[in-house]
Structure 1
Amino acid sequence: MMKYLILLSAIFFVSEFVLMVFKRSQKEHTLKKSDRGSMALLWITISLGFTFGFIFANYYIWKLANYVVAGVGLLLIIVGVIIRWLSIFQLKQSFTVNVVIATNHQLKTDGLYGYVRHPSYLGLLLIMIGFALAMNTFSSFLIISVSMLLAVLYRIRVEEQALKSEFKEKYESYSKKVKMLIPWIW
């Protein structure tokens, strides 16, 4: 089971790397940059989270409960990938891996963005929590999920400051209606 999880994590890592290479903002289309190191923090957190998560993962004794937990983890990974990529496709050209305001930037408030303000980060968190569960140890779960949540919350704060600065009252109104990460809750 663990070898498949390692393979799946490598595929995830490659997909995120491809996003980083091809979906960086272009300087000629950038109005304001305000990433403040959040992309680097996400990469470091993902890399270290996987490294230490796999170090502490359960490779040996698996019972039915372990397979159930791993199955739930795999389900979360699948749901997270769907949410993440759907949110990226819905943003189209506006999606970038670094936090910028483009010259033609429009505030997206429909589709998944009508349910949560940051569906891409929700998907990323679900993916990472799924991997953490599938590793089948409490240590791996804590290492990955807590560090990733903190990194994503920092990234959201950076992004929201940029959006508030650009869209002012329109973003304030949107953020009062639509929750940050969990529909109708948070």
Structure 2
Amino acid sequence: MNISPKLAFFAIVSTLAYLGLAVWGLGGFAAFFSHGALVAVAVATVVMAVASLFTEVNLSSGEREDRANRWVLPVFGIIGLLSGYLPAYTDRIDFWTLGGEGVRWLGALLFILGGALRLWPVFVLGKRFSGLVAIQPGHTLVTDGIYRTLRNPSYLGLMVIGIGWALAFRSVIGLVLAALTLIPLIARIHSEEALLRAQFGREYEDYCGRTWRLIPGIY
């Protein structure tokens, strides 16, 4: 598989920038890397970035796109920037923090599990996974494996990542930011489902009837 130089550059820069915000917020490299749980989070972040280079994720508008949903992209970006810095900063000044090192390690574990859940479906979908809400050429439904009971496992992974990141810094504000991510995330899910319903009709309706949207047993 050929790795796009542009994708590689973006992945490296964005990963370093995100970790840099956290290091800055916590007060520097010494403060950040003095916590084993945060070292684990940093390593996991780099591993996820490298793994993403071997996916076929794209920003193609494909055969048909819901362009009205593009507003979620800058919203995700703003929440992401705030999440990069604020949880670490509130950790440093001990503002709205939870517990101690045990909470950090719980956060690191959730972050790693969320990362795996985020990336697994991306590999499964291949070129069908786009940063835009779009139908790709040759688009087909995947209804088995990780998609057997859950329609949006990658988005659940994204939420678990956000919760794990917040807990790694013991940050209540980080948890609030993770919760705010649900607003653009649910809007994107609804747009995707409308597009898939229009594309696949009864096949998709039947699939929705036997699966959960985001959280098994709840939603």
The yes-or-no answer on 1:146 pairing with 2:179 is yes
* Residue identity matched to 1:3: F
Computed over aligned residues only, the root mean square deviation of the Cα atoms, in angstroms, reads: 3.1
Post-superposition shift, 1:9?
9.0
- 2:77 corresponds in structure 1 to 43
CA distance in structure 2 between the partners assigned to 1:148 and 1:86 by the alignment: 20
Instruction: Check whether the contact 1:49–1:147 (CA below 8 A) recurs between aligned residues.
Output: no
C-alpha offsets along residues 2-36 of structure 1, whole Å, 9 cap, x if unaligned? 61438729936x839x67xx722446xx1101152
CA distance in structure 1 between the partners assigned to 2:44 and 2:110 by the alignment: 17
- 1:68 corresponds in structure 2 to 102
Q: Quick one: percent identity of the two aligned structures?
A: 29
What residue ranges of structure 2 are gaps of 5+ in the alignment? 1-29
Distance 1:33 1:71, change over 3 A: same
TM-score (norm 1): 0.81
From 32, 40, 64, the counterpart of 1:3: 32
From 79, 84, 107, the counterpart of 2:141: 107
CA distance in structure 1 between the partners assigned to 2:133 and 2:111 by the alignment: 24
Question: In terms of mean alpha carbon deviation, does 127-136 or 144-153 score higher?
Answer: 144-153
Instruction: Check whether the contact 2:60–2:134 (CA below 8 A) recurs between aligned residues.
Output: no
* Residue identity matched to 1:47: L
The structure whose Rg is larger is 2
Post-superposition shift, 1:103?
2.3
Instruction: Check whether the contact 2:118–2:154 (CA below 8 A) recurs between aligned residues.
Output: yes
Higher relative contact order (CA 8 A, sep 6+): 1
How many residues were matched structurally?
179
What residue ranges of structure 1 are gaps of 5+ in the alignment? none
Distance 1:9 1:161, change over 3 A: farther
CA distance in structure 1 between the partners assigned to 2:99 and 2:87 by the alignment: 19
What stretches of structure 1 move > 3 A for 4+ residues in a row? 4-7, 9-12, 58-61
CA distance in structure 2 between the partners assigned to 1:57 and 1:161 by the alignment: 41
- 2:66 corresponds in structure 1 to 34
The yes-or-no answer on 1:126 pairing with 2:160 is yes
